[in-house]
């Protein structure tokens, strides 16, 4: 016998005494607002009701902690205070009732329950408000009253929370339900980190209005599409470079039927129909394309070869061939696009 697993219910293992004892003994130290007591016959650090009563804690003392991360919101509330006030924070949910899975944790010396919410419109009931510079994601944490004693003494609790982000090429993709986008992982060499890289289509030059899937097959001829490629690879020594892009009427990046849009990192027509705004300077690449079509086909697909580039080499931006290998470059594709109206076709 050498652990609490060997003790009968309502007995605790005491490592210093090397035996089971009647008094509850928690193997982990309890926090300042907790006491060790039996819960379901197991010694557990629980809310110290004497502590909370002596300090006259009420619902007005409850605070919520909100972390606004790059792609997630994390909302946390005090486990012990809520349980003292006869709530059940472990059963918390969001506006979409199946978004539960509250996780117990200790944050800044306080035992909390936390819920993580992806920053995306409609996710877990998220609502958004956006202006010309920022987008705000909003949701509500729903905390039910405890029914463990068979008596309900409080009303269910609702706590609103939100996070605001600068509106940019990446955050704008989270503001529509089905943006035209695709992703792949780039080769990171010896790094263990992934380099998720995304290509997406936009309808404005500020890259804040993503093209939606319901719009991609009814694009007016003579309109301009703006393409953005970005990577979340964190290493500051690397930038993103798109080596080539081409258009094809079929969904096959090996098809010989194609028109080159970018070669060696630059426009193939000196900006007449294809403009490259940023390439090989940051973690984002931007270029635009005036609508086109292939003779005998209704659809257009766009394929781009992208890679990570070590900035210190001095070869990441500019119009020249690099020594990048096929293994370094990953193909990203978008489509189909259908342009409607009168147009000149390419063949």
Q: What is the C-alpha separation between 293 and 295, in angstroms, rounded?
A: 7
**For residue 45, pLDDT beyond 90:** yes
Average pLDDT, the chain: 90
Homologous superfamily (CATH) of 176-346 is Zona pellucida, ZP-C domain (2.60.40.4100)
Confidence grade of residue 24 (pLDDT, cut at 50, 70, 90): confident
Q: Which of 198-202, 278-282, 309-313 has the least mean pLDDT?
A: 309-313
Measured in whole angstroms, how far is the alpha carbon of residue 163 from the centre of its chain? 13
**For residue 272, pLDDT beyond 90:** no
Q: What is the C-alpha separation between 307 and 212, in angstroms, rounded?
A: 26
Residue 40 or 229, more confident: 229
Query: Strands 339-340 and 219-220, how do they pair?
Result: parallel
Q: What is the C-alpha separation between 164 and 138, in angstroms, rounded?
A: 9
Residue for token digits 């342009």? 339
Q: Which residues pair with 185 in a beta bridge?
A: 196
pLDDT tens column, 90-106: 999 999 989 988 999 99
The mean pLDDT of 21-49, rounded to a whole number, is 89
Residue for token digits 């035996």? 19
What does the domain layout of the chain look like in residue ranges?
4-54, 59-167, 176-346
**For residue 301, pLDDT beyond 80:** yes
**For residue 327, pLDDT beyond 60:** no
Measured in whole angstroms, how far is the alpha carbon of residue 156 from the centre of its chain? 29
How much is the pLDDT for 343?
Answer: 56
**For residue 31, pLDDT beyond 60:** yes
**For residue 195, pLDDT beyond 80:** yes
Residue 210 or 320, more confident: 210
How much is the pLDDT for 191?
Answer: 63
**For residue 149, pLDDT beyond 60:** yes
Confidence grade of residue 346 (pLDDT, cut at 50, 70, 90): low
| Residue (of 181, 235, 173, 234) closest to 207 by Cα position | 173
Confidence grade of residue 4 (pLDDT, cut at 50, 70, 90): low
| Residue (of 161, 96, 92) closest to 125 by Cα position | 96
How much is the pLDDT for 341?
Answer: 77
For domain 59-167, the question of CATH label 3.40.50.2300 is answered with: no
pLDDT tens column, 156-186: 999 999 999 999 999 999 999 999 999 999 8
Measured in whole angstroms, how far is the alpha carbon of residue 319 from the centre of its chain? 34
How much is the pLDDT for 23?
Answer: 83
Q: What is the C-alpha separation between 347 and 340, in angstroms, rounded?
A: 18
Cα–Cα–Cα angle for 223, 228, 231, rounded to 5 degrees? 170
Q: What is the C-alpha separation between 74 and 340, in angstroms, rounded?
A: 44
Are both 59-167 and 176-346 of the same fold?
A: yes
How much is the pLDDT for 28?
Answer: 85
How much is the pLDDT for 306?
Answer: 95
The mean pLDDT of 197-201, rounded to a whole number, is 97
Confidence grade of residue 249 (pLDDT, cut at 50, 70, 90): very high
Question: Do 78 and 71 meet the contact criterion of CB atoms below 8 Å apart?
Answer: no
């Amino acid at each position: 016998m050498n652990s609490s697993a060997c003790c009968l219910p309502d007995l605790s293992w005491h490592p210093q005494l090397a035996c089971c004892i009647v008094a509850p003994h928690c193997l982990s130290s309890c926090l300042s607002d907790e006491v060790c007591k039996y819960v379901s016959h197991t010694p557990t650090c629980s809310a110290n009701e004497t502590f909370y009563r002596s300090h006259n804690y009420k619902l007005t003392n409850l605070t919520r902690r909100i972390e606004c991360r790059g792609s997630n919101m994390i909302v946390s509330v005090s486990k012990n205070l809520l349980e003292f006030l006869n709530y059940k924070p472990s059963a918390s949910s969001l506006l979409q009732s199946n978004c539960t899975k509250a996780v117990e944790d200790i944050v800044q010396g306080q035992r909390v329950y936390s819920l993580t919410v992806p920053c995306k419109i409609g996710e877990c009931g998220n609502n958004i408000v956006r202006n010309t510079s920022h987008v705000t994601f909003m949701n509500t944490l729903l905390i039910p009253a405890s029914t463990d004693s068979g008596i309900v003494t409080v009303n269910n609790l609702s706590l609103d929370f939100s996070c605001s982000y600068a509106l940019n090429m990446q955050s704008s993709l989270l503001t529509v339900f089905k943006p035209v986008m695709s992703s792949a992982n780039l080769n990171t060499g010896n790094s263990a980190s992934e380099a998720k890289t995304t290509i997406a289509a936009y309808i404005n030059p500020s890259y804040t209005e993503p093209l939606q899937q319901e719009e991609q097959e009814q694009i007016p001829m003579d309109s301009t599409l703006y393409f953005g490629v970005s990577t979340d690879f964190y290493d500051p020594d690397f930038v993103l470079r798109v080596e080539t892009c081409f258009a094809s009427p079929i969904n096959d990046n090996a098809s010989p039927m194609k028109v080159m849009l970018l070669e060696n990192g630059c426009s193939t027509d000196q900006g007449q129909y294809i403009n490259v705004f940023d390439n090989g300077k940051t973690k984002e690449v931007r270029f635009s394309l005036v609508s086109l079509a292939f003779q005998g086909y209704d659809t257009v697909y766009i394929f781009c070869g992208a890679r990570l580039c070590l900035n210190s080499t001095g070869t990441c931006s500019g119009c020249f061939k690099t020594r990048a290998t096929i293994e370094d470059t990953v193909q990203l594709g978008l489509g189909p696009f259908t342009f409607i109206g009168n147009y000149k076709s390419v063949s």
